Amino acid sequence: MEKTLLILKPSAIQRELVGTVLQRFERKGLRIAGLKMMQLTDALLDEHYAHLKDRPFFQRIKNSMMITPVIVCCLEGKEAVQVVRKMAGTTNACNAEQGTIRGDFALSMQENIVHTSDSVENAAVELARFFAPEEIFEYTQNAKPFLYANDEV
């Protein structure tokens, strides 16, 4: 099964959307394999957003991500990266489809509720950045036979 990173950003924390957002992923059938609240640091954000370091909004993003702690999650399921990204909606929440997390709860490019990994490769890197190996758990999801056909997993 594929694993991916989900970060509930300060906008989700401040707007008290944590339970609502996590519930959507659980109802879809994704398994929570890791979950913790943490305060992001400048150094961690420099690493996480290194691909944006030359953009004029880089410091603004970092400042926004440090306003409150965030909740980081490891979600697992079939094609989890693609499923989570589709459920999140496009980055610019003004253009996100109704029914997606961003489409239903945000109007901003930056304050858009969640961060999601954009590829299987980046998910592995990002999960290692935010979780120690012992913080990601394997356990039996009792609903699994009702989520997947035998030959799908």
Active site residues: 115
Strands (E) located in the chain:
2-8, 31-38, 70-77, 114-116
**The dihedral sign for the CA sequence 95, 96, 99, 104:** negative
Burial 17-37 (b: 16+ CB within 10 A, else e): beeebbebbeeeebbbbbbee
